[in-house]
């Protein structure tokens, strides 16, 4: 994106942003822009870079007094026009929050990025830090991609640190079904939790209307996450203001414009958040087997009779798609093979409702039938074990989904899941060939938590 290309040389320093503490409790604000005036007197409009002063926000007339806000930049970036502009309705800072808005209520006047931001912290740079005067912000974002026209509308969520999205290693755009998107939609961004933080974006046909698309939930913790680039980690954002914004990366058309209506920011509880497809591990963030083996620790280590490391846990790549290759030789003691992933912080698997844990896996027809199980351990050390109902499941040579109903688990605290184990074998001789080169294997492609909401 434009901001990354133009600010990346300035991200070597650490910016300390002052956080103003606000009283705890549920509160909210909303703005209709109706009848030609602001409901709130606290609106602020800021941009980066702020050179020409041609960015602004004005109320435009709608039908029957249903007016709306237009954010517009009339100057090209080549002559000092801003790359993006932000509107802040209230200085109130939120922690667990849902920001919503009708987006592009007047249709699409320019192909630009449009979005919502939550837990946003910012300061005004006089040019001494980034090289240009203007707003410097860190935030969780929901992007609504209009920049390639209405036929290619899609949404995503991500995190920026001081205007630089270089923290993101992987992106997960969601295509909005259909091509007739030269119209308005209602968008919502949910940000809940402290450590971890869960970030989800939703797009509806209209306010209170049918859901059209929802992003996978980005999970942010206070340690390096799989989706973060090496050497670029930023702590979770604890609280901040809610914003709407627009931007344009190109020079055509000159400037940008986006319209918003019925903007609101509401404090919500984590249980009320829209959470979807929380990636426990999609194996995309590992560069080599050494990295994966450090995350998924095998219970069997050492050197084989051939003098080579056993390496039962390996990274397998199919293009850009990463997979866990899990091998085992359960013809030898201890007759069971495990790979354990211990999470940096315990994860709350109840946010969004207790649903299912889904694993995508594939074995080989030559594999010897053996029990395959998943073990979940909470922060207190309690363990729940789920065994696949069919021992011959490891013989499938097609990708299969194994859905585990989390509501059936007993004796484990799903609000603090600390570790997950993949196990093959039951502690008895599997009957595999007594050959050091004979390894059965199962691939795992994605492991995803599916909440009920």
Q: Per-residue pLDDT tens for 234-271?
A: 899 999 999 999 987 666 667 888 899 999 999 999 98
Residue 4: φ, ψ to 5°:
-65, -45
2-273 is classed in which CATH architecture?
Sandwich (2.60)
To which residue do tokens 């280590």 refer?
Answer: 301
Residue 235 structure tokens: 């702590």
Per-residue pLDDT band at 20 (split at 50, 70, 90):
very low
Shared fold status for 2-273 and 279-450: yes
Question: Which among 358, 218, 236, 207 has a CA at the least distance from the CA of 275?
Answer: 218
Q: How far is the C-alpha of 72 from the C-alpha of 383, rounded, in Å?
A: 55
The domains of the chain are located at 2-273, 279-450
Cα dihedral sign for 320, 321, 322, 327? negative
Q: How far is the C-alpha of 418 from the C-alpha of 415, rounded, in Å?
A: 9
pLDDT tens digit string along 341-378? 999 889 999 998 999 999 999 999 999 999 999 999 99
DSSP 270: G
pLDDT tens digit string along 206-240? 999 999 999 999 999 998 888 888 788 789 999 99
> Quick check: 77 pLDDT over 90?
no
pLDDT tens digit string along 173-189? 999 999 888 889 999 99
Residue 392: φ, ψ to 5°:
-85, 5
Task: Supply the pLDDT for residue 125.
Answer: 95
> Quick check: 320 pLDDT over 60?
yes
Q: How far is the C-alpha of 86 from the C-alpha of 46, rounded, in Å?
A: 5
* Cα end-to-end span (Å), the chain: 32
Task: Supply the pLDDT for residue 339.
Answer: 96
User: Which CATH superfamily does the domain covering 279-450 fall into?
Assistant: Galactose-binding domain-like (2.60.120.260)
Q: Which residues contact 134 (CB under 8 A, 6 or more apart)?
A: 46, 47, 48, 49, 50, 51, 82, 124, 125
Largest CA distance in the chain: 82
Comparison of pLDDT for 309 and 234, the residue scoring more? 234
> Quick check: 336 pLDDT over 70?
yes
Task: Supply the pLDDT for residue 296.
Answer: 95
Per-residue pLDDT band at 147 (split at 50, 70, 90):
confident
């Amino acid at each position: 994106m434009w901001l990354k290309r133009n600010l990346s040389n300035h991200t070597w320093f650490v910016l300390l942003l002052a956080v103003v503490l606000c009283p705890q409790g549920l509160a909210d604000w909303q703005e209709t822009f109706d009848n030609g005036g602001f409901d709130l007197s606290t609106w602020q409009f800021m941009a980066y870079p702020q050179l020409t002063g041609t960015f602004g926000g004005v109320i435009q007339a709608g039908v029957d007094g249903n007016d709306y806000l237009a954010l517009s930049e009339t100057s090209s970036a080549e002559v000092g026009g801003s790359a993006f502009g932000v509107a802040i309705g209230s200085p109130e800072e939120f922690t667990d929050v849902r920001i919503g808005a009708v987006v592009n209520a007047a249709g699409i006047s320019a192909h630009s990025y449009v979005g919502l931001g939550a837990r946003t912290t910012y300061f005004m740079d006089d040019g001494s830090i980034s090289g240009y005067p203007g707003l410097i912000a860190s935030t969780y974002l929901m992007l609504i991609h209009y920049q390639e026209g209405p036929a290619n509308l899609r949404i995503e969520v991500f995190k920026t640190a001081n205007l630089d999205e270089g923290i993101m290693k992987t992106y997960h755009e969601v295509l909005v079904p259909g091509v007739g998107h030269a119209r308005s939609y209602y968008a919502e961004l949910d940000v809940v939790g402290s450590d971890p933080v869960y970030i989800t974006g939703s797009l509806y046909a209209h306010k209170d209307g049918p859901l059209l698309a929802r992003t996978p939930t980005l999970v942010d913790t206070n340690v390096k996450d799989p989706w973060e680039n090496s050497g670029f980690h930023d702590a979770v954002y604890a609280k901040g203001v809610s914003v709407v914004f627009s931007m344009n990366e190109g020079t055509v058309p000159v400037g940008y414009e986006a319209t918003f209506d019925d903007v609101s920011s509401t404090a919500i509880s984590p249980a009320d958040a829209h959470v979807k497809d929380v990636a426990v591990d999609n194996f995309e963030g590992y560069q080599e087997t050494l990295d994966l083996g450090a995350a998924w620790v095998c219970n069997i280590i050492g050197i084989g009779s051939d003098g080579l490391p056993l390496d039962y846990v390996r990274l397998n790549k199919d293009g850009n798609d990463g997979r866990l290759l899990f091998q085992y030789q359960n013809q030898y003691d201890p007759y069971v093979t495990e790979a354990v992933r211990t999470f940096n912080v315990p994860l709350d698997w109840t946010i969004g409702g207790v649903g299912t844990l889904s694993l995508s896996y594939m074995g080989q027809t030559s594999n010897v039938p053996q029990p395959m199980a998943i073990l979940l351990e909470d922060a207190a050390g309690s363990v729940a074990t789920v065994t696949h109902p069919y021992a011959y499941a490891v013989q499938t040579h097609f990708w299969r989904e194994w859905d585990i109903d989390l509501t059936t688990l007993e004796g484990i605290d799903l609000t603090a899941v600390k570790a997950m184990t993949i196990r093959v074998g039951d502690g008895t001789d599997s009957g595999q060939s007594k050959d050091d080169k004979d390894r059965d294997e199962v691939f795992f492609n994605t492991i995803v938590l599916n909440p009920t909401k």
